[in-house]
Amino acid sequence: MRFSPLIDQLMQALRCLPGVGPKSAQRMALHLLERDPQGAQHLIDSLQQALDKVDHCQQCRTLSETPLCPICADPRRDASLLCVVETPADLWALEQTQGYQGYYFVLLGRLSPLEGIGPDDLGLAFLLQRLQQASIQELILATNPTLEGDTTAQYIALRARNLKRPPLKITRLAHGVPLGGELEYLDGGTLVRAFSGRQVYTDT
Amino acid sequence: MHSTPAYLLHQQAYRENKRLVWLLTPQGRLDGVVYKRLYRPALVPLQCEYQGRRSLKQIRTLEAQALGVNLVYKAQVCALYANELLFRLLPSELECHALFLAYVNLLNALQEAQHHVLLCAQALRTFESELLRHLDQEVTLWQLDGQLIQSHLWYTQVEYDGQVAWRVLPESQPTVDAYLGEWIQAVVAGDWSQPKYRHTAKSLFRQRFARLLGHRPLLTYQLLSVFQQAS
């Protein structure tokens, strides 16, 4: 059975969302039209406002409604630390831990030749320019531990080392055993990395 | 249910709990869907169990068979380069046992020689040569007239009827596109012992890959040059 052109158009529009296939799009469209027209209106308004007002932070490139995001605008954060992440979602994940008090730089991707993403697509010139600030003493590379994420981290490290600036400490997030995890269920690669990244035992 | 050794070439998020994966197997490139919890990283030897008759297979298990290689800097980009070539050029489900072996050998060579630029380059040339052979684009010793090239003469490449062959050049006119017969013979024999042979192989292989890749060049070339300058 064919739906009316407008419903068809709505279902097609909903399919732009990741993970939404024809069936899910149909279910969502019918739910909004049949059961929750107020929710649909709220969705329209929220989407329109977000599209109008949300842009990228001028300093860290995460999504923000203001020229500087709340993190970059916070003078209480530690200006000696700069953490590079792949996506705004990674930034939010790190922020939720409340374990890091420095600033961020969001690449909005990672080097992925197979997806056509090269160094010019990641705002690396902007990152290197930012690294010229003498206040930054440590660059934390928090890209994902995938082939592309590792290559991105190595690329940034090489470029950062060649900068003419005071010595910069470059670190990478540790890889290893997750909290609550059990060794027997871990893959060999993770275990090897956990072993090579082991730390001196302290009582604190 | 089929079972095969495999290496991950590329992956992409697909739905909330699944990933699209492209695998190199001895049976050719295998495209499939796998649950996120079963996902394994690149450069690790895997055993893959899959089913399905369509081009996109349902992958049931992906088990790591060994630790895989741990590469850094240029060696890692070399592996990425091999993956990009395979992802873009290798047809799906066309048997490639020799190429699979060449890929395994490349990763092992990169692991052993990752701080040795020359050995990395030699391992890459061997892999590229095998890939071109698999794609029926290998460098040959034939001239346009069906004669074999001679080691002491200069040649240039000409394209005729979709095939590339050699045309002899007058001795007095070696150009930038000219190759000595001896160098071409070394490339065909897989001899990378002399700088001239390696340079010729790199040049000829790149030209052939460029023909196959069309207007979209490999992005890893750009990365390789940056890593080469910086290291």
Mark whether B103 and B190 lie in a shared domain: yes
- Looking at chain A, which residue has its C-alpha nearest residue B8? A147
Q: Are residues B216 and B122 in the same domain?
A: yes
pLDDT for B97 equals 94
Cβ–Cβ gap B84/A113 under 8 Å: yes
Domain that residue B15 falls in: 2-64
Give the pLDDT band of residue B103 (cuts 50, 70, 90): very high
- Do B27 and B113 fall within a single domain? no
Q: Tell me which residues of chain A, numbers 129 to 188, contact chain B at a CB-CB cutoff of 8 Å.
A: 145-148, 150-151, 154-155, 158-159, 161-162, 187-188
* Statement to judge: residues B195 and B104 lie in one domain: yes
Provide the β-strand partners of residue A172.
A141
What element of type H or E holds A103? strand A102-106
Which of helix, strand or coil describes residue A113? Answer: helix
Mutant choice from B35, B80, B216, B227 vs A, greatest count of A C-beta within 10 A: B80
d(CA B103, CA B97): 10
Both B44 and B128 in one domain: the answer is: no
CB B67 within 8 A of CB A192: yes
Mean pLDDT of B218-222: 85
Give the distance from residue B20's alpha carbon to the nearest chain A alpha carbon, in angstroms: 12
Indicate yes or no: CB of A192 within 8 angstroms of CB of B70. yes
Q: How many of the other CB atoms lie within 10 Å of CB of A137?
A: 15
Q: CB of A109 within 8 Å of any CB in chain B?
A: no
If one counts the domains in chain B, the total is 2
Please name the member of A21, A151, A188 whose beta carbon is closest to the beta carbon of B80: A151
Q: Domains in chain A, please, with CATH?
A: 5-53 (1.10.8.420), 63-200 (3.40.1360.10)
Q: Is residue B145 part of a domain?
A: no
Domain boundary among the residues B14, B41, B64 is at B64
In this predicted model, what pLDDT tens digit does every residue of B155-214 receive, in sequence order? 998 888 777 889 988 876 667 789 999 999 999 999 999 999 999 999 999 999 998 998
- Helix and strand tally (H, E) in chain B? 6, 8
Q: What is the mean pLDDT of each run of 10 residues along chain A (204 residues)?
A: 87 89 92 94 96 96 96 96 97 95 96 87 91 94 92 92 91 89 82 84 75
Same domain for B108 and B18: no
Asked if the C-beta of A117 comes within 8 angstroms of chain B's C-beta atoms, the answer is yes
pLDDT class of B130 with cuts at 50, 70, 90: very high
pLDDT-above-70 percentage for chain B: 98
Please check whether residues B131 and B198 belong to one and the same domain: yes
Last residue of a domain, one of B34, B64, B94: B64
The answer to whether residue B154 is domain-embedded is no
Answer left, alpha or beta for residue A82, where phi above 0 means left and psi between -120 and 50 means alpha. beta
* Closest-CA distance of chain A to residue B133, Å: 22
For A192, the closest of B67, B81, B227 (CB atoms) is: B67
Which residue, chain included where needed, has tokens 């890889």? A175
CATH of the domain at B40: 2.40.50.140
Mean pLDDT of chain B: 88
Q: Tell me what percent of the residues of chain B surpass a pLDDT of 90.
A: 52
Report the Cα A170 to chain-centroid distance in Å.
19
Per-residue pLDDT for B48 more than 70?
yes
| Residue B167, domain member (yes or no) | no
The pLDDT value given to residue B223: 84
Query: What's the pLDDT score for residue B162?
Result: 75
Side chain identity, residue B103: Y
State pLDDT tens for residues A70-100.
999 999 999 999 999 999 999 999 999 999 9
Asked if B12 and B76 touch (Cβ cutoff 8 Å), the reply is no
Q: For residue A1, what pLDDT is reported?
A: 63
- pLDDT value of residue A175: 86
**Cα–Cα dist A201/B215, whole Å:** 55
CA A8 to chain centre: 33
CB pair distance less than 8 Å for A147 and B76: yes
Where is A80: in which H helix or E strand?
A: strand A78-85
Contact yes or no for B185/B168 (Cβ under 8 A): no
Helix axes B73-89, B117-134, angle to 10 degrees: 10
* B102 pLDDT more than 90: yes
Domain boundary among B30, B64, B98: B64
In angstroms, what is the C-alpha Rg of chain A?
22
Give every CB contact of residue A169 below 8 A, 6+ residues apart in sequence: A137, A138, A139
Amino acid identity for residue A46 in this structure: S
Which residues is B109 bridged to in the sheet?
none
CB contact under 8 A, B68 and A189: yes
Residues B54 and B84 occupy one common structural domain = no
SS3 B45: coil
Cα–Cα dist B113/B111, whole Å: 6
Are residues B64 and A117, on separate chains, in Cβ contact within 8 Å?
Answer: no
Name the token pair of A21: 């296939």
